[in-house]
Structure 1
């Protein structure tokens, strides 16, 4: 099972990084290149414990749906989303936040299982793990950009209320 671990240092309070990380609206911005849209469940605002969202996006030239649910939630330090239904055999995405000296360290731990047995493992090696790492890295770049710009994060968080 592949594991992707990313660490992003953000010059913003922990609560800002935490809330932007669970913003459906900001997630749509970070995945705009895939046409990703929330189509069921929590479709805008800030997702919370026990809530789910179904996404529709184009990956590898195919439209796909994926539903994930928040299964653990300890604001502003931690939350977990796990796939309920979708193209993977499963995934678990841990979002961990720590704050020190005015900086927030956002750590993503993304564990997933590809479908199709041996063919899925080959796809992981050839392209899928790199694709997922790039998708998460872009998401984190957008979170950092918005968290470090008060005008941007205020607009996103006001829209989320």
Structure 2
């Protein structure tokens, strides 16, 4: 049997439909993640701690000693937050390696949003700091760097 242009068009159309279906699934999941993102911060035990520390974090440079000291003071809330939110590497026993693609996308969007809360926030700098902090590969770091333009 000869494979014709009509066969090719049919097969390609089916493929296009399947890709659209899979992208729609991702869109639905990301939309839900956006709806529930960080809602745990709005209740105890996180609310009280984030109320105290958010202004301190805003005034510090991400990754600085001052920033790390603030995080140390937030441990009770952060432990609860990480347990409740899968877009943080700390949620997983094996860190960022335990995350799925949607966790990674939400995490990256979270990093971008966090840069907007700091006077000196910089997504490229966050990528560098977080590579050391979470131990991800140079390949993933490059993918993140390539993605910065999405937010410009």
Identify whether the pair has TM-score above 0.5, normalized to the shorter chain.
no
Which entry has the higher C-alpha Rg, 1 or 2? 2
TM-score by length of structure 1 reads 0.24
Relative to its length, the structure with more strand (as a share) is 1
More helix by share: 2
Structure-2-length-normalised TM-score: 0.25
Q: Answer 1 or 2: higher relative contact order, Cα 8 Å, separation at least 6.
A: 1
